[in-house]
Amino acid sequence: MLKDKIQALAQDIHGDVVKHRRHLHANPELSFEEYQTSAYIKSALDELGIEWTAMANTGIVGIIKGAVPSEAVVALRADMDALPIKEANDVPYRSKNEGVMHACGHDVHSSSLLGTAKILQSLRSDFAGTIKLIFQPAEEKLPGGASLMIKEGVLENPKPQAVIGQHVMPLIDAGKIGIRSGKYMASTDELYVTVTGKGGHGAQPQQNIDPVVITSHIIIALQQVVSRFADPKLPTVLSFGKIIANGATNVIPNEVYLEGTFRTLNEEWRAEAHQRMKKMAEGIAESMGASCEFKIVNGYPFLVNEEALTAQVRGFAENYLGKENVEDLDIWMAAEDFAYYSQAADACFYRLGIRNEARGITSSVHTPTFDIDETALATSTGLMAYIALKRLGN
């Protein structure tokens, strides 16, 4: 059986995948700076005899062609970049780059795809179709490596009928995955707001135009965009996480600076909300004698798992892992640039369990203590290979 063959191969190469993961974890690189990571992956693909091309500077696309002629094409995606976080783990593979850490599991994704590539390359004489291996830079930084890869033609020549991705999930035990059909992750936009008034002595507010009070009105009023304009059935989040008003106990500043995020799961509403927020903030400031610069930096779109493909992937996963090891996921208002693939092609993005409470491996992503149960690397490599071949019709 194909399942048994792949599971055996996944166990055989597990040590190699662990070595890949530990090397990448110890040598993390920030978004758009993944030069050594890219060189390492290219070398690993060369050793496997897999043809590759460079794309989006540090990105790589490998091609595995089955011996049996077929027009079917599946793309498998991994990201490569790390985060500006100082690692707190005391492990042999601790980051060697001070202040940079694979705290979101992209080392897991890339090493897993190398493992999957090794499995598929060893089986190429037995299957029909083509598999694209996408090693993508800069998931963590706008405009997102996925958008650049797509612009440079990663979804063309040949065009995949499906794009599959996986991402670590510390809330799910190793050996399991989580999956959701339809809308899954939110769009994300960055808000940069400056409210300018007239500063002065705090004891003489009548002589000033207080941007602190005006900004307070704006922050509260903007929540009505969520509570009174958004469809209650449509998840929408507006949060401000940074406020700077450089006055003092008795000094009203000239301006107040804000940074925030807006997230939702509908592109039409997203565009409408942008206009409402900008108009509301500028109007409030003007009505109170101040001015407001409301800058919106568009981030990633929302991520949608195509329903027919996701149902198929779920079935493959249940067959490979057992139905009890495939969990349902809820909507998650975090963002991921895999969403660009999901907007351009049929796509499925699932979660890989990496948790092991008995060993204390429970930390969330984007934290200094994030780590994984490396037994998950056998699951990640084998399952993706199985999904790819089953999707190709093998």
Residues annotated as catalytic are 81, 139
Residues ≥6 apart with Cβ < 8 Å to 1: none
User: What phi and psi values does residue 271 have, to the nearest 5 degrees?
Assistant: -65, -40
The answer to whether residues 356 and 88 touch, using CB atoms and an 8 Å cutoff, is: no
Could you report how far apart the first and last alpha carbons of the chain are, in Å?
Answer: 11
Quick one: which of 119, 70, 21 has its CA closest to 386?
A: 119
Give 198: exposed, middle or buried? Use CB within 10 Å, 0-12, 13-18, 19+.
Answer: middle
The answer to whether residues 162 and 74 touch, using CB atoms and an 8 Å cutoff, is: yes
As a whole number of angstroms, the distance between CA 254 and CA 215 comes to 12
The answer to whether residues 41 and 114 touch, using CB atoms and an 8 Å cutoff, is: yes
Instruction: Output the furthest CA–CA distance in the chain (Å, rounded).
Output: 83
To 10 degrees, what angle do helices 376-391 and 14-26 make? 110
Half-sphere exposure of 331 (CA within 13 A, CB side): 16
Listed in order, strand segments (DSSP E) in the chain are 51-55, 59-65, 68-79, 128-136, 162-173, 177-179, 182-185, 189-196, 200-201, 236-244, 251-252, 255-264, 291-298, 303-305, 326-328, 347-355
Q: Give the CA angle between residues 121, 11, 377 to the nearest 5°.
A: 85
